[in-house]
């Protein structure tokens, strides 16, 4: 049960500098990695890496349905949530996220844990959603280089200004 937490930062997402898109970094005193298999069993499209351990999943709210889909990544004693446009918005969603994690904790008996490890999509699979014009506007030499970075979770798909909305949505589904 998460009773105490500290918001360490609400700042720009590292791979989207200057965009005004924020993330929140929250630290918690307890190790919550025991929750990860239950989150993986409860949430569709979670990405779970048990060896780290680490889990990332889309979040649309707990007590209410949020207008947009946020992104939560958890390590044993750290939670990172994005993407916000203001710190007020961040604080509201942080509370929702903590309530959600505490719900998972208190309902572990009702949730079948899923220990399956997530496999990231290959750069080749990602490449088919990119324009493949090698225009370099993302700061990389080619679309393939961008696809490799995406597969390693080192860049956000929005960093490609040429991608179509449809392909952006498709990419977010597989990443
Ligand atoms: S900005 Fe997009 S289209 Fe241009 S090189 Fe980068 S990934 Fe390819």
List the domain boundaries for the chain.
6-110, 123-174
pLDDT tens-digit profile of 70-126? 999 999 999 999 888 888 888 889 999 999 999 999 999 999 999 999 988 999 999
Q: For residue 9, what are the β-bridge partners?
A: 25
Q: How far apart are CA 28 and CA 31, in angstroms?
A: 8
Q: Which atom of ligand 1 is nearest to the CA of 131?
A: 3
Kindly report the pTM of this predicted structure: 0.76
pLDDT at residue number 41: 97
Class of domain 6-110: alpha beta
Task: Look at residues 40, 41, 44 and name the one whose alpha carbon lies nearest to residue 55.
Answer: 40
CATH topology of domain 123-174: 3-methyladenine DNA Glycosylase II; Chain A, domain 3 (1.10.15)
Question: Does 140 sit in the ligand 1 pocket, CB within 6 Å?
Answer: yes
How many other C-beta atoms can be found within 10 angstroms of the C-beta atom of residue 24? Answer: 24
The residue to mutate among 127, 128, 137, 147, having the most atoms of ligand 1 within 8 angstroms of its beta carbon, is 137
List of E strands, the chain? 6-12, 22-27, 47-49, 54-59, 70-75, 78-84
Band of residue 49 on the pLDDT scale cut at 50, 70, 90: very high
């Amino acid at each position: 049960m998460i009773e105490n937490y500290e918001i360490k930062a609400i700042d720009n997402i590292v791979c989207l500098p200057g965009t005004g898109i924020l993330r929140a970094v929250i630290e918690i005193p307890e190790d919550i990695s025991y929750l990860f298999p239950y989150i993986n069993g409860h949430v569709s499209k979670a990405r779970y890496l048990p060896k780290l351990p680490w889990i990332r999943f889309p979040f649309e709210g707990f007590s209410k349905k949020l207008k947009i889909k946020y992104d939560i990544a958890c390590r044993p004693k750290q939670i990172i949530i994005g993407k916000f446009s203001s710190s007020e918005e961040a604080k509201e969603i942080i509370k929702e996220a903590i309530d959600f994690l505490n719900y998972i904790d208190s309902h572990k008996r009702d949730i079948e844990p899923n220990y399956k490890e997530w496999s990231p999509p290959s750069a080749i699979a990602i490449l088919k959603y990119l324009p493949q014009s090698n225009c370099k506007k993302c700061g990389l030499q080619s679309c393939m280089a961008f696809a490799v970075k995406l597969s390693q979770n080192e860049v956000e798909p929005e960093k490609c200004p040429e991608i179509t909305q449809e392909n952006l949505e498709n990419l977010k589904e597989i990443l």
